[in-house]
Amino acid sequence: MTRLTVADLPPVTGAWREGDPVGSRRFVDLGALELESGDKLDAVRVAYESWGDPSAPSVLVLHALTGDSHVVGPAGPGHASPGWWESLVGPGRPVDTDRLHVVAANILGGCQGTTGPSSTASDGAPWGSRFPDLTVRDQVAAEVALADHLGIDRWHAVVGGSAGGMRALEWAITHPDRVERLFLLATSAQASAEQIALSSTQQAAITADAHFAGGDYYGADHGPVAGLDVARRIAHIAYRSEPELEQRFGRDTEPNGQFSVGSYLEHHGAKLARRFDANSYLVLTRAMDSHDVGRGRGGVVAALSRITARTVVAGIDSDRLYPIAQQQELADLVPGADRLRVVRSLHGHDGFLVEQDQVGALAAELLDPGPWS
């Protein structure tokens, strides 16, 4: 694997900007969006992709923190990476586009085509530091507006892992009549103190970068790529398991004397900084910190009791970021969930992306038109 470093990066982070090539993405302008905070975004654009016949039952696939709408397909114009769930969605695959219509949208606040801090505000300048704080519920509100635009009154299923699972939960709680089936993977009912602690440390790495400029670095010679690089390294430790890091790297060193595990983290930090926007990373992680399905609803138990969807809940046995007890809580409290499914993996939280055979089998179980197993 070729190792990237911050020195390999362009002067400003490679976030999407209006006018970039968009590949197979499509865009919908949804107008104004009222936020939970009372703020308002006057003009929201959502980037999305879809597969299958639009007249078939529709499935919403929700990506995680630094993912995007490109669930399947090669890298190319508008897509820095190939599809992130390549073996799950497509003809004859667990989410079978021969019989299902699949929609995936980029998250509100992101940097891959949907309105976010790097987008142009009404005054013609990038939002930058002026972009408002978001919650998971705000992000779902934008997805609801997209569904309305597409004429989708009810999802056959809503599927999400990690941050995508947070939005899937909010869909099923806020709009139970619009979600028939639900797949919750490596996620939780509310952000824990440890998750917020890890997130806030990553945020501090970005804002401490001398090139952050209070969030108004667009158009500058340098952006906060070093801070974003460090933030991703911190996150990546939590995404993988300790046994995996020990097995793969141990105390091995590179020819330059650097520990191999440090070189590995450096590569992943620089890789993200090449394709993602630091301000979006801040907005999205803060939204994840806000995640609490019980807020304003009488607590977690009351909120989860609203769900009417047939539900599969799955956790990763080696996940230290979203430990399996959090998924057990969901399986115990969501009325339509019969039991917790466990994905066996050495890869920690990233097992929801890596273990596509196991995850695909669970998705197929949920989407099977036959009786509930």
pLDDT score, position 369: 74
Query: Is 0.95 surpassed by the pTM of this model?
Result: no
Give the rounded percent of residues in the chain with a pLDDT score beyond 90.
89
pLDDT score, position 7: 45
Give 237-282 pLDDT, tens digit per residue. Answer: 999 999 999 999 999 999 999 999 999 999 999 999 999 999 999 9
The confidence band for 75, taking pLDDT boundaries of 50, 70 and 90, is: confident
pLDDT score, position 370: 67
Give 182-232 pLDDT, tens digit per residue. Answer: 999 999 999 999 999 999 999 999 999 999 999 999 999 999 999 999 999
- Per-position b or e across 243-266, b if 16+ CB within 10 A of its CB: ebbeeebeeeeeeeeeeebebbbb
Give 148-173 pLDDT, tens digit per residue. Answer: 999 999 999 999 999 999 999 999 99
pLDDT score, position 2: 42
Contact at 8 Å (CB) between 72 and 89? yes
Average pLDDT rounded to a whole number, residues 54-81: 90
pLDDT score, position 373: 54
Average pLDDT rounded to a whole number, residues 315-330: 98
Contact at 8 Å (CB) between 363 and 95? yes
Average pLDDT rounded to a whole number, residues 278-297: 98
261: closest CA among 247, 249, 243, 246? 249
Indicate the CATH number for domain 6-12+195-288: 1.10.1740.110
pLDDT score, position 208: 98
Catalytic residue among 280, 319, 345, 347: 319
The rounded Cα 178 to chain-centroid distance in angstroms is: 21
Cβ-Cβ contacts under 8 Å for 8 (sequence gap 6 or more): 270, 274
Cβ-Cβ contacts under 8 Å for 197 (sequence gap 6 or more): none
pLDDT score, position 221: 92
> For residues 6 and 177, what is the distance between their CA atoms, to the nearest angstrom?
47
Average pLDDT rounded to a whole number, residues 6-26: 44
Domain ranges of the chain: 6-12+195-288, 26-190+296-367
Catalytic residue among 118, 162, 241, 290: 162
Q: Token pair of 269, please?
A: 């930090």
Contact at 8 Å (CB) between 28 and 146? yes
Give 339-358 pLDDT, tens digit per residue. Answer: 999 999 999 999 999 999 99
> For residues 232 and 349, what is the distance between their CA atoms, to the nearest angstrom?
14
Annotation marks residue 319 as catalytic: yes
Cβ-Cβ contacts under 8 Å for 15 (sequence gap 6 or more): 111, 118, 275, 276, 277, 280
- CATH fold of 26-190+296-367: Rossmann fold (3.40.50)
Is residue 6 pLDDT above 90, yes or no? Answer: no
Catalytic residue among 79, 156, 236, 349: 349
Is residue 14 pLDDT above 90, yes or no? Answer: no
pLDDT score, position 207: 98
